[in-house]
Amino acid sequence: QQQVKQSPQSLIVQKGGISIINCAYENTAFDYFPWYQQFPGKGPALLIAIRPDVSEKKEGRFTISFNKSAKQFSLHIMDSQPGDSATYFCAASKGGGFKTIFGAGTRLFVKA
């Protein structure tokens, strides 16, 4: 019940295309859903996050779509660029300082 399942494991997208990464969770007590971006040899960096009281959040080219009833959320990267090539992790927590559970990651490669 503590797992966060992420798919796909890897993704290749053409420059200018849309990258979509999906996550599913089981624990309905989770109330904070961040996405992190990690480049090789670096620590993860917070990209965007959403709370379950909204269905969508957009920041620049990055959008989170959230479906509370299905217990799923996804990251959409519009106009994908080669510089977006990285590993992306979804995560979930109960907030308030409780443990954050990370997905297994999606390795994104954007072809120029």
Binding residues for another protein (CB under 8 A): 6, 32, 34, 36, 41-46, 49, 89, 91, 93, 95-100, 102-105
At 19 the three-state DSSP class reads strand
| Closest CB to another protein among residues 46, 78 | 46
Quote the least distance from Cβ 27 to another protein, whole Å: 15
Quote the least distance from Cβ 107 to another protein, whole Å: 9
For residue 74, give both structure tokens.
Answer: 């996804």
| Closest CB to another protein among residues 53, 112 | 53
| Closest CB to another protein among residues 17, 32 | 32
Quote the least distance from Cβ 44 to another protein, whole Å: 5
Residues 6+ apart with CB under 8 A from 34: 46, 47, 48, 49, 50, 90, 91, 100
The residue assigned the tokens 């620049």 is 60
| Closest CB to another protein among residues 42, 111 | 42
For residue 97, give both structure tokens.
Answer: 């300082």
CA 51 to chain centroid, in Å, comes to: 13
Q: Are 7 and 72 in contact (CB under 8 A)?
A: no
